């Protein structure tokens, strides 16, 4: 029998003898399905009631905290300021004021705590310091922002509110002074800020035993267990530990598991206090499916025993037939597993002319194609970033002969003075330096989603945004440039060890329309970009010589990337070969990089003032500003360059048509 269909037909006739046993098993399956249906109804009701209880608890907390704001003690917390921050007091004064607030609140009779009878409350000031806790009357001044839910109440992105489930012995609660000591089980934490002018001024905190929350849920049927699991592993509820261990994380749909010698249905759902809030814990519901079904299942098992003899006879016939039928399938499965493990040389010997034999031949053709694809992939990954190659293998239409117009970002980088140095150096040393440098730079460009186009002597040309689309290609190019400069800093110790000259780079970046594609002939092609925007990036790299800078970007780049970067406007410059001037900016670092460098911030302010005076033809005042900038950072190249220009214009003033544009001397 050569037809696989005929083989399956024979197998079907053999297994038809199992009908009686199958009916018995089906009866048991129906009983278990009814048990699952009852469990699902119970799960849905319990989960809905728990969510409603949590929402009502939170809404009560919100209402009570809003009403409590009228109390003088709470208003004093909200109006508190740190005079030491303004030079009007000391940290000791601030501590005394905090203690006064603590004593006032400790002496007050808060009806809010008695109104809910669901835990204890605390109040923190705008800095996140504990002012009062009903559970730790002597505690105040602790940093409550260590507790995630409370930290979220200070965060505008979180809506000035937070909630979470934590262990009762969480050390952060004790260090913050919120608790008088460890508490058994898990705790539910609510936090909510009172906001004035968009700034949190006081934060109300409610902490409740999770056991109380669970006690409010009336389970519809006996046998359903409920537990809450916090992100830190804290558990509260009556789900048996073995069931929780096997069933936790089973997903939002009920799943059958075996534990404690019984069949269980387990369901896990995230728990939130609001529709758009962050989940604070997981709800785990479990039900023993065997409870209440023991008698019915016993009858089903007796029927199963009656059909056992017939089942044995049918199995003997089925085993003999299936062994012959399954052998080629097993061989095919084994070969497929070898391919999945990376062995593309796996093959299957066809032993028949039926569907299985044709499948074996198709499998061999597939592995041959995979081997060829892998060879191509490994070959091209020598020249392009791995993710670019992977993208092109899936989207071959992304590269077209002749190219297409796209807006991309192009970056040129060049080693300063390397050409003259290499003329007097050992060629082997020159190649060693360049290989090390190119390796580090290429890795960083690829990591930012860029493509290394080509190496031109000691220069590197790269672009961002093609062939893989990259929405923020201007920012990624700037980040790659900063990585580039970091790579040079990393080579410093190696340069000293290997007796290399000190390496310094100049970088130019521009965003604009280019022609990108697989450009060339049918026999030889190069995936590259061409156009005026490419030339401008190259000119910006050379313009660094005019200012003593390391990285210049055009205005088109700065407009797209300035939100994440530190930099300064440098000049309106007319570059070689271009009539229209370009506004250029120096790339300094990531946003916030200057916060710890007051001298450099001062230099940038003085430079910006000097630039405005320079363009207003106030050259004497501009010179003074630039000299102040140099006094703050003596090695600042742009300030030194503008000092020289200002002095020259004081001696030889520009004509009346002067527009502040500087014509570059270098290419």
Structural domain includes residue 462:
yes
Strands 255-259 and 262-271 come out as antiparallel
Question: Which residues, in sequence order, are CB contacts of 197 under 8 Å at separation 6+?
Answer: none
Question: In this predicted structure, what is the pLDDT of residue 543?
Answer: 95
Residue 27 sits at φ, ψ, to 5 deg, of -60, -45
Convert the pLDDT of each residue in 396-410 to its tens digit.
666 555 678 999 999
Q: Between these two residues, 10 and 563, which has the higher pLDDT value?
A: 563
Structural domain includes residue 385:
no
- In angstroms, what CA-CA distances link 493 with 39, 498, 500, 550, 633? 67, 9, 10, 20, 25
For the cut 70, the answer to whether the pLDDT of residue 86 exceeds it is no
Final residue of a domain: which of 593, 608, 642? 593
For the cut 80, the answer to whether the pLDDT of residue 161 exceeds it is yes
For the cut 70, the answer to whether the pLDDT of residue 549 exceeds it is yes
Q: How many Å apart are CA 611 and CA 602, to the nearest integer?
A: 14
Question: What is the number of domains present in the chain?
Answer: 4
Q: How many Å apart are CA 541 and CA 576, to the nearest integer?
A: 12
Question: At 605, is the pLDDT very low, low, confident or very high (cuts 50, 70, 90)?
Answer: very high
- 328 with 436, same domain: the answer is no
What percent of the chain is predicted at pLDDT more than 70? 75
Question: At 502, is the pLDDT very low, low, confident or very high (cuts 50, 70, 90)?
Answer: confident
- 578 with 603, same domain: the answer is no
- In angstroms, what CA-CA distances link 593 with 125, 395, 589, 597? 30, 39, 6, 8
Question: At 305, is the pLDDT very low, low, confident or very high (cuts 50, 70, 90)?
Answer: low
Q: How many Å apart are CA 267 and CA 265, to the nearest integer?
A: 7
- Range of weakest confidence among 280-284, 357-361, 415-419, 468-472: 357-361
- 248 with 338, same domain: the answer is no
Q: Which residues pair with 530 in a beta bridge?
A: 515
What percent of the chain is predicted at pLDDT more than 90? 27
Q: How many Å apart are CA 640 and CA 649, to the nearest integer?
A: 15
- Range of weakest confidence among 20-24, 342-346, 584-588: 20-24
Question: In this predicted structure, what is the pLDDT of residue 307?
Answer: 62
Q: At 447, which CATH number?
A: 3.30.70.1230
Final residue of a domain: which of 275, 306, 337? 306
Structural domain includes residue 223:
yes
Cis peptide before 467 (omega within 30 of 0): yes
- 161 with 80, same domain: the answer is yes
Structural domain includes residue 617:
yes
Structural domain includes residue 382:
no
Can you give the pTM of this predicted structure?
0.47
Highest mean pLDDT among 144-148, 159-163, 532-536: 532-536
- 624 with 589, same domain: the answer is no
Mean pLDDT of the region 242-267: 77
Question: At 649, is the pLDDT very low, low, confident or very high (cuts 50, 70, 90)?
Answer: very high
- 319 with 208, same domain: the answer is no
Question: At 554, is the pLDDT very low, low, confident or very high (cuts 50, 70, 90)?
Answer: very high
Question: At 251, is the pLDDT very low, low, confident or very high (cuts 50, 70, 90)?
Answer: low
- 111 with 141, same domain: the answer is yes
Alpha-helical runs (H) found in 69-87 = 72-79
Q: How many Å apart are CA 475 and CA 134, to the nearest integer?
A: 50
Q: Which domain holds residue 64?
A: 1-17+25-306
Residues 374, 344 contacting (CB under 8 angstroms): yes
Question: Which residues, in sequence order, are CB contacts of 35 under 8 Å at separation 6+?
Answer: 265, 287, 289, 292, 293
- Range of weakest confidence among 225-229, 523-527, 596-600: 523-527
For the cut 60, the answer to whether the pLDDT of residue 17 exceeds it is no
Convert the pLDDT of each residue in 48-63 to its tens digit.
777 887 787 787 777 7
Buried b (16+ CB within 10 A) or exposed e, 47-86: bebbbebbeebbebbeebbeebeebebbebbbebebeeee
Number of C-beta neighbours around residue 353 at 10 A: 10
Mean pLDDT of the region 206-212: 83
Question: Which residues, in sequence order, are CB contacts of 291 under 8 Å at separation 6+?
Answer: 223, 262
Residues 584, 559 contacting (CB under 8 angstroms): no
Structural domain includes residue 606:
yes
- 564 with 635, same domain: the answer is no
Structural domain includes residue 666:
no
Mean pLDDT of the region 158-171: 84
Final residue of a domain: which of 593, 618, 642? 593
Structural domain includes residue 667:
no
Q: Between these two residues, 284 and 644, which has the higher pLDDT value?
A: 644
- Range of weakest confidence among 300-304, 580-584, 635-639: 300-304
For the cut 70, the answer to whether the pLDDT of residue 515 exceeds it is yes
Convert the pLDDT of each residue in 339-359 to its tens digit.
777 676 777 777 777 767 777
Q: What region does 481 belong to: left with phi over 0, alpha with psi -120 to 50, or beta?
A: alpha
How far, rounded to the nearest angstrom, does the alpha carbon of residue 429 sit from its chain's CA centroid? 41
The alpha carbon dihedral of 230, 236, 240, 241 has a sign of positive
Q: At 170, which CATH number?
A: 3.30.450.20
- 585 with 607, same domain: the answer is no
- 243 with 293, same domain: the answer is yes
- 548 with 570, same domain: the answer is yes
Task: Tell me the average pLDDT of the chain.
Answer: 79
- 109 with 178, same domain: the answer is yes
Q: Which residues pair with 508 in a beta bridge?
A: 412, 552
Mean pLDDT of the region 124-152: 82
Question: In this predicted structure, what is the pLDDT of residue 310?
Answer: 57
Strand, coil or helix: 125: strand
Strands 565-574 and 662-663 come out as parallel
């Amino acid at each position: 029998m050569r037809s696989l269909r005929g083989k399956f037909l024979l197998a079907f006739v053999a297994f038809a003898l199992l009908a009686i046993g199958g009916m018995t098993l089906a009866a048991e399956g129906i009983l278990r399905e009814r048990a699952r249906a009852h469990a699902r109804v119970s799960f849905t009701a319990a989960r809905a009631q728990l969510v409603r209880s949590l929402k009502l608890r939170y809404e009560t907390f919100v209402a009570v905290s809003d009403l409590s704001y009228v109390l003088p003690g709470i208003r004093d917390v909200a109006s508190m300021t740190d005079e030491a921050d303004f030079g009007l007091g000391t940290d000791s004064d601030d501590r005394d004021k905090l203690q006064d607030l603590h004593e006032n609140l400790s002496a007050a009779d808060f009806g809010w705590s008695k109104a809910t009878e669901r835990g204890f409350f605390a109040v923190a000031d705008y800095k996140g310091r504990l002012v009062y806790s009903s559970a730790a009357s002597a505690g105040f001044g602790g940093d409550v922002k260590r507790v995630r839910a409370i930290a979220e109440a200070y965060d505008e992105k979180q809506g000035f509110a937070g909630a979470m489930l934590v262990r009762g012995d969480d050390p952060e609660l004790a260090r913050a002074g919120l608790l008088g000591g460890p508490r058994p089980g898990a705790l539910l934490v609510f936090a909510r800020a009172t906001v004035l002018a968009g700034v949190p001024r006081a934060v109300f905190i409610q902490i409740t035993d999770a056991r109380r929350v669970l006690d409010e849920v009336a389970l519809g049927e006996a046998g359903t267990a409920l537990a809450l699991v916090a992100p830190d592993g804290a558990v509260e509820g009556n789900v048996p530990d073995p069931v929780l261990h096997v069933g936790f994380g089973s997903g939002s749909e009920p799943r059958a598991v075996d534990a404690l010698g019984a069949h269980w249905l387990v369901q896990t759902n995230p728990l939130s206090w609001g529709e758009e809030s962050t989940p604070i814990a997981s709800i785990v519901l479990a039900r023993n499916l065997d409870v209440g079904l023991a008698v019915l299942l016993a009858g089903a098992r007796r029927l199963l025993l009656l059909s056992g003899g017939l089942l044995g006879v049918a199995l003997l016939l089925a085993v003999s037939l299936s062994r012959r039928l399954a052998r080629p399938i097993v061989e095919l499965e084994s070969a497929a597993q070898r391919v999945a493990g990376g062995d593309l040389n796996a093959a299957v010997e066809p032993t028949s002319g039926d569907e299985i034999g044709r499948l074996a031949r198709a499998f061999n053709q597939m592995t041959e194609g995979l081997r060829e694809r892998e060879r191509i992939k490994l070959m091209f990954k020598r020249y392009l970033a791995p993710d670019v190659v992977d993208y092109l293998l899936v989207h071959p239409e992304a590269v077209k002969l002749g190219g297409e117009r796209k807006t991309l970002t192009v970056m040129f980088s060049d080693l300063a003075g390397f050409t003259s140095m290499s003329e007097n150096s050992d060629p082997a040393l020159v190649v060693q330096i360049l290989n090390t440098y190119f390796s580090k730079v290429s890795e960083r460009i690829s990591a930012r989603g860029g493509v290394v186009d080509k190496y031109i002597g000691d220069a590197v040309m790269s672009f961002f945004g093609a062939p893989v689309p990259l929405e923020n290609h201007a920012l990624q190019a700037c980040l790659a440039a900063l990585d580039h400069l970091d790579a040079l800093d990393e080579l410093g110790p190696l340069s000293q060890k290997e007796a290399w000259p000190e390496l310094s780079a100049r970088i130019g970046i521009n965003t604009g329309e280019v022609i990108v594609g697989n450009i060339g002939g049918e026999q030889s092609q190069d995936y590259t970009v061409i156009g005026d925007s490419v030339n401008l990036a190259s000119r910006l790299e050379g313009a660094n010589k005019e200012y003593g800078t390391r990285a210049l970007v055009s205005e088109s780049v700065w407009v797209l990337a300035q939100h994440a970067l530190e930099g300064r406007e440098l000049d309106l410059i007319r570059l070689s070969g271009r009539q229209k001037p370009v506004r250029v900016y120096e790339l300094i670092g990531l946003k916030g990089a200057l916060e710890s460098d007051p001298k450099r911030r001062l230099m940038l302010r003085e430079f910006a003032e000097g630039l405005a005076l320079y363009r207003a033809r106030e050259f004497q005042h501009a010179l003074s500003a630039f000299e102040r900038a140099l006094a703050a950072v003596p090695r600042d190249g742009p300030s030194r360059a503008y000092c020289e220009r200002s002095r020259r214009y004081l001696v030889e003033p520009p004509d009346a048509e002067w527009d502040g544009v500087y014509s570059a001397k270098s290419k």
